[in-house]
Amino acid sequence: MPESSPNVAVVTPSRVTSSRDTPSRQTLESAVVRFSGDSGDGMQITGGQFMLATAVAQNNLSTFPDYPSEIRAPIGTTFGVSAFQINFGSRVIKTAGDNFDVLVAMNPAALKVELNGLKPGGIILLDTGSFQDRNIHRANYATDPRTDGSLDAYRVIELDISKLTLDAVAGLGLSKEKGLSKKEALRCKNFWALGFVYWMFDRLRTPTVNWLKTKFAKRPEIADANIAALNAGHALAETMEVSDGLNSFSVAKAPNIEPGVYRTITGAEAMAWGLAVGAKLADLRLVFCSYPITPASPVLHALSNMVEHDIVTFQAEDEIAAICAAIGASYAGSLGVTSSSGPGIALKGEALGLAVSTEQPLVVINTQRAGPSTGLPTKTEQSDLLQALYGRNGECPLVVIAARAPGDCFNVAIEASKIATKYMTPVMVLSDGYIGNASEPWLIPDIDQLEKFPINLHKEGEYFDSTLRDEVTLARPWAIPGTPNLEHHIGGLEKSYETGEISSDPENHQKMTDIRAAKINGVVRDIPDQHVESGAASGKLVIVGWGSTYGPISRAVNNLQEAGVDVSHVHVRHIWPLPQNLGDLLAGFEHILVPEMNSGQFVKVLRDQYLLDAKGLNKMTGQPFKIVELENAIRAHLEAAK
Amino acid sequence: MTDTMTDTMTVSATETKLTAKDFVSDQEVRWCPGCGDYAILKAVQRTLADVEAKTENTVFVSGIGCASRFPYYMKTYGFHGIHGRAPSIATGIKLANPDLDVWVVSGDGDALSIGGNHFVHLLRRNVDVQFLLFNNEIYGLTKGQFSPTSRVGTRSPSTPHGSIENPLSATLVALGSGAHFVARGVDSAQKQLIATLTRAHAFKGTSFVEIFQNCIVFNDGIFSAFTAKDKAPDKQIYVEHGKPLLFGKDHTQGLRIKPGTLSLEAVVIGEQGITKDDVLLHNETDRALAALLADMNGDTLPIAIGVLYCKPGHIFEVEIRKMVQREISETTNSLNDVLRAGHTWTVPKEPE
């Protein structure tokens, strides 16, 4: 990044050049850092900036923002702790990492909550300025953890970051009169800590400096204060390396990264952009109807900020109104999309049936969260799979696809738009809180190179003649209001196969039920055969995953394969209909293990569909699987199978 | 766009004028014989012919209930939705294509009970649709349970000892929701109903029309206290903008503000020195007056029929379209640019 260095040099010219040449850095293949503090400490921004700097350093990376559902919980409490974890390295990174190498703890509560996740011998950066007795007690510590021996297993860096930040900002000569209060100055302490960690991992400050200047363009004194704090933290770390033997590390560029233009992307952004692109490829206007709900709202926000691409977003009065408006929009010739999380999807159930019965193209996004009921709104789970497949009254089949990673949401959203318009059916896309919030580097595609799938509106002749159903897809014709001579009635009452008008004829209901099921089953012709992600195509044990468990499963399986274990990995994207060859493929393994963040939902489907003795491996803590958990469970499974 | 629209209008002007029969579908009407819905259906078909509506541009959207079968009987586009959600489906239709002429047909249970939320928000947003609420104060399709407009003491299968709940006023809810057009009609009063529906159709924004509709099977005669031929003159007042609020046979009674209060009272012209000049003129742009008129219950004051309130406001889907068009005209960004906005970096090709 030679073009970036001069900018940094402007900030602290003397330090940059010398630091780049320091030979004493310890080389790491990968590292995990967790920033943790109070909800008001800006940990998500801090982590986001570290991610940016790490992307610029061309490491592979994966992040996990882990924040409470309270917007501002009481200061200093354990339930107000907000954290951001990042795993980065010169090798392929598939998860945000199990345990962390470095913990930045901005207060006692953060230390209390996070210490369990730190590797033995790991580094803790503590802001002692927040370790007053009151805060220590508020974090439910009986004694000061710094002096009672509970940190003996770690390398602890104790600094009064609060005071150091105030000192750094004071150096700028910014007084209250000049527009910066002490409170605002103190708020820069997260950037002080960031500067310190930047030194430890040899990250460039330029992207962060530029970000601050843009973000606070209207209040340059705040940008300057944060930049001063960032530089002060960085400078102290450099000094400490020499005087106190502070560890510093170097994580090399990841090799074999596909060339091209990259950015970081969250699952929510990728989903929004995929929907916008999907509508464009179908040559339809996107009408996105949603009701705010954690953790799905970022998709609504992203699309609302893109109306210049002929996108209409509608914040409805409730979940039901949102899906019904999307249905109305599709009926009138747009691509109707609705998005929510589990509780909202539950409310949409009846209307989903209406979309199935009236055969409307519709995309439904479920960014799953931990349930039941309100559950853990900000925590992740995969427990809406059976809801997606079966959670409606009557025989009500639809297509279900699951995204496996943040960037994958883009592809899944496009595929959902294509299937929905080709087959005239609702398509449910399963994402989850982890995928939605997590970010990863993303090779930006060229939209002009993507295959278009323009829809064919029906414009002539009589409307609902059964012969008009597409012979291959069984899709009904799409005739939209405004088209002369095709006036027709449509609704949730059973329709005559011949005319489309109301029919309560018994034989007709059987026929329509069969047709609706056959149409969805037929989507299989547009689904690629199931491939094996890694390992042999038959053998001792296959691990079958879907959705966001892709990362930890593939890493765990790769680790075991390297250790000589006979294990394969199959990742299923198309939940319904399932790929044609899946049953045969799985039957080629002696044992089938299905890890899921639920109590065993996909494993039920596999057992039901293929009469296979698949076993579940289940976790419902609101947290993603750890690689080591999976490795241990797989080993135990093999042991028990002997 | 403007050119195309002018062309279309020129073409339609030369087409044969449609009659009410041209809006009748081939579906057999399945309401009970004598149901008030028949009269409303006829009035709507007649109105559409009068206003020279086009069958292909007209969409009827409904929820669930007796009234909600309405779209099947219209030779237009029709969407029979789910219980209470017709306003939402209609909103989506207008978001996709604001040029369509959309009618929502609903009932007292559909609009005010299960769909109350959507009803309120449709009016608040002022989506350009006609909203017809067939109020018969009973659940018909589920065989006669009391509804949110049923009066206290209504005996029904679910309230054999008489209902306890207070009824709500559809027109007052509409006014409170920020409706810009609030009107009332009676199923059997065809002339007035057609006049009101014509006004509703012409209005840009949500035009709400409550239609008192007789359920001959489960609630027969519930409105006869003010709809029966001999009662109507004294118990109904047909309001028209700018005209005095007169009622009674030969228009000898009128409404005025009761001195010293913020309420209405009925007066008799010629009695106690009251002249025609003492009678209030109807001002349909006055929301406070509309609320007073809507609140009259036929007890001491007559039931108000006609356009109670009409004051145009900005229209939801029109404003959205304007905003989208403005943003489109002000950007040269492609979707490819969106994906590349913010921080990006390039991984170069490794030298061989």
Q: What is the pLDDT of residues A59-79, one digit of tens each?
A: 999 999 888 877 778 889 999
In this complex, do A310 and B59 lie within 8 Å of one another by their Cβ atoms?
no
Q: How confident is the model at residue A5 (pLDDT cuts 50, 70, 90)?
A: very low
Number of Cβ within 10 Å of residue B32's Cβ equals 14
Q: Tell me: the pLDDT tens digits for B226-240?
A: 999 999 999 999 999
Q: From the list B93, B333, B343, which residue is nearest A332 (CB)? A: B93
Separation in Å, CA of A329 to nearest CA in chain B: 4
In this complex, do A316 and B100 lie within 8 Å of one another by their Cβ atoms?
no
User: Which chain B residue shows the shortest CA-CA distance from A485?
Assistant: B56
Residue A484 at interface with chain B, using a CB cutoff of 8 Å: yes
Q: What angle do CA A620, A623, A628 make, to 5 degrees?
A: 95
Q: How confident is the model at residue A97 (pLDDT cuts 50, 70, 90)?
A: very high
Q: How confident is the model at residue A11 (pLDDT cuts 50, 70, 90)?
A: very low
Q: How confident is the model at residue A460 (pLDDT cuts 50, 70, 90)?
A: confident
Residue A309 at interface with chain B, using a CB cutoff of 8 Å: yes
Is pLDDT at A127 greater than 80 in this prediction? yes
Is pLDDT at A447 greater than 60 in this prediction? yes
- Look up residue A367 and give its amino acid: T
Q: Tell me: the pLDDT tens digits for B23-44?
A: 999 999 999 999 999 999 999 9
Q: Tell me: the pLDDT tens digits for A502-513?
A: 999 999 999 999
Q: How confident is the model at residue B345 (pLDDT cuts 50, 70, 90)?
A: confident
Q: Is the peptide bond prior to A298 cis by the omega test (within 30 degrees of 0)?
A: no
Separation in Å, CA of B1 to nearest CA in chain A: 15
Q: How confident is the model at residue B15 (pLDDT cuts 50, 70, 90)?
A: low
Percent of chain A with pLDDT over 70: 95
User: Which chain B residue shows the shortest CA-CA distance from A494?
Assistant: B80
Is pLDDT at A403 greater than 80 in this prediction? yes
Q: Tell me: the pLDDT tens digits for B291-321?
A: 999 999 999 999 999 999 999 999 999 999 9
Question: What is the pLDDT of chain A when averaged over all its residues?
Answer: 92
The predicted pLDDT at position A15 comes to 33
In this complex, do A308 and B331 lie within 8 Å of one another by their Cβ atoms?
yes
User: Which chain A residue shows the shortest CA-CA distance from B336?
Assistant: A447
Q: Is the peptide bond prior to A577 cis by the omega test (within 30 degrees of 0)?
A: yes
In this complex, do A320 and B85 lie within 8 Å of one another by their Cβ atoms?
yes
The predicted pLDDT at position A20 comes to 44
Q: From the list A58, A310, A447, which residue is nearest B324 (CB)? A: A310
Q: How confident is the model at residue A456 (pLDDT cuts 50, 70, 90)?
A: confident
User: In 3-state terms, what secondary structure has residue B228?
Assistant: coil
Pick from B123, B62, B58, B56: which is nearest to B90 by CA? B62
Q: What's the pTM value of the predicted model, to 2 decimals?
A: 0.90
Rounded to an integer, what distance in angstroms lies between the CA atom of residue A312 and that of residue A232?
A: 46
**Three-class SS of B47-77:** HHHHCCCCHHHEEEEECCCCHHHHHHHECCE
- Look up residue A443 and give its amino acid: L
In this complex, do A325 and B344 lie within 8 Å of one another by their Cβ atoms?
no
Is pLDDT at B352 greater than 80 in this prediction? no
- Look up residue A292 and give its amino acid: P
User: What's the whole-number mean pLDDT along residues B173-199?
Assistant: 98
Contact A384, A366 (CB under 8 A): yes
Rounded to an integer, what distance in angstroms lies between the CA atom of residue B185 and that of residue B238?
A: 9
**In this complex, how many residue pairs, one in chain A and one in chain B, have their CB atoms less than 8 Å apart?**
209
Q: Tell me: the pLDDT tens digits for A585-642?
A: 999 999 999 999 999 999 999 999 999 999 999 999 999 999 999 999 999 999 998 8
First-residue to last-residue Cα distance in chain A? 53
Residue with tokens 């709940």: B165
Contact B131, B206 (CB under 8 A): yes
Number of Cβ within 10 Å of residue B112's Cβ equals 23
Rounded to an integer, what distance in angstroms lies between the CA atom of residue A574 and that of residue B262?
A: 66
Q: Tell me: the pLDDT tens digits for A377-398?
A: 999 999 999 999 999 999 999 9
In this complex, do B97 and A264 lie within 8 Å of one another by their Cβ atoms?
no
Residue A328 at interface with chain B, using a CB cutoff of 8 Å: yes
Separation in Å, CA of A380 to nearest CA in chain B: 26
A6-15, A326-335, B218-227, B284-293: range with lowest mean pLDDT: A6-15
The predicted pLDDT at position A346 comes to 98
Residues of chain B in contact with residue A487, where contact means CB-CB under 8 angstroms, are 55-56, 75-78
Q: Tell me: the pLDDT tens digits for A345-369?
A: 999 999 999 999 999 999 999 999 9
Contact A322, A303 (CB under 8 A): no
Rounded to an integer, what distance in angstroms lies between the CA atom of residue A273 and that of residue A413?
A: 8
User: What's the whole-number mean pLDDT along residues A95-103?
Assistant: 94
Q: Would you give the distance in Å from CA A437 to the centre of its chain?
A: 4
Residues of chain B in contact with residue A258, where contact means CB-CB under 8 angstroms, are 347
Residue with tokens 């002749």: A461
User: Which of A1, A450, A487, A498 is best to mutate for the B interface (most B CBs within 10 A)?
Assistant: A487
In this complex, do A493 and B80 lie within 8 Å of one another by their Cβ atoms?
yes
The predicted pLDDT at position A241 comes to 80
Q: How confident is the model at residue A264 (pLDDT cuts 50, 70, 90)?
A: confident
Tallying the residues shown for chain B, one arrives at 352
The predicted pLDDT at position A178 comes to 64
